[in-house]
Structure 1
Amino acid sequence: MSPRHRNGSHQAGTVIALVADVMAAILVLWILMYLLDANSSNSFVEIVRDAARWLAGWSHDLFTFDKEWARVVAGYGLAAVVYLVIGHGVAGRVRSRH
C-alpha cells in the first residue's frame, strides 16, 4: 500500500478521534456548568446545554437517582465515555487499516 494512502487513513483516524473528543468535551463542559450553577439565561450556557442534550439524547434521564446532579453526571458522563471509547476505537481501526 502506498504511503499516501496510509497517510490518508491516519488523517481520517485523527479527524474521527478529534470529533469524539469535541463531543465528549461539550458533554463534560455541560456537566461542569450544571454543577457550578451556571447562569441558564446566558447564551453560551444555552448553546452548550442544547448541544449536550442533543448529544446525550439517548442517555439523558437514563438513571433515576434521587439527586438531580447525580442524574446529570451519570447520564451525560456515560454519553461522553461512550463517544470517547467508540470514537477512539474506530479511529484506531481506521489508522491501522492496510
Structure 2
Amino acid sequence: MAEHAEAEHEEEAEPRPKRAPIDWRRGREQAFSILASIVRWVGLIFAALLVLHVIFVIGSANSANGIVSFVRGWADGLSLGFKDLFTPSDAKLRVLVNYGIAAIFWLIVSGILARIIRRIGGVVSS
C-alpha cells in the first residue's frame, strides 16, 4: 500500500508541460482585421446589388423575374437618399446616376470604416 502511495506521489510530482503563452495583442489585431474585412465585404455586396439593379433596368430585364425583383427590393433599400437625388427625364439615366452614386457611396464608406477599424485594432493592441 505504501508503494502504491509513493508511485502516485511520484506521478504528481512530475512537472506539467508549460503551455505556449497566449499572444493577446495578436488575437486582438486578428479580430479587428476580420471585422474590417467583413465590413469591406458587406459594402462590396451592397454596391454589387446596386450595380445589378442598374444593369437590369438599363437592359430592360423582366421585372416579374424573381432575381430581378429580389435585387430591386434590396437596391431600393440600399439606395438611401440617393434614389431621387437627380431627376432627369429619362428613367434609365435616372437609375444609372442615382443608384450608381449609391454604389460608389457604399464602396467609399465601407473602405473608410474598414480602415478605421484596422487602425483602432492596431492602436488598442499597442
The interval holding the TM-score normalised by the smaller chain is over 0.9
Give, as a single letter, the amino acid of the residue that structure 2 aligns with 1:52.
A
Return the offset for 1:93. Answer: 1.1
Give, as a single letter, the amino acid of the residue that structure 2 aligns with 1:37.
S
Q: Greater CA radius of gyration, 1 or 2? A: 2
Provide the residue aligned with 1:76 in structure 2: 99
Q: How many residues are treated as equivalent by the alignment? A: 98
SS at match of 2:82: coil
Q: TM-score, normalised by structure 1?
A: 0.95
- Whether 1:37 aligns to 2:60 is yes
Return the offset for 1:67. Answer: 1.2
Q: What fraction of aligned residue pairs are identical, expressed as a percent?
A: 29
SS at match of 1:32: helix
| Structure with greater contact order relative to length (CA < 8 Å, sep ≥ 6) | 1
Q: d(CA) in 2 for partners of 1:64 and 1:39?
A: 23
Q: d(CA) in 1 for partners of 2:117 and 2:100?
A: 26
Return the offset for 1:48. Answer: 0.4
Give 1:13's match in structure 2, choosing from 20, 36, 50: 36
- Whether 1:65 aligns to 2:76 is no
Give, as a single letter, the amino acid of the residue that structure 1 aligns with 2:110.
G
Return the offset for 1:57. Answer: 3.5
Gaps of 5+ in 1: none
Provide the residue aligned with 1:54 in structure 2: 77
Structure 1 runs of 4+ off > 6 angstroms?
A: none
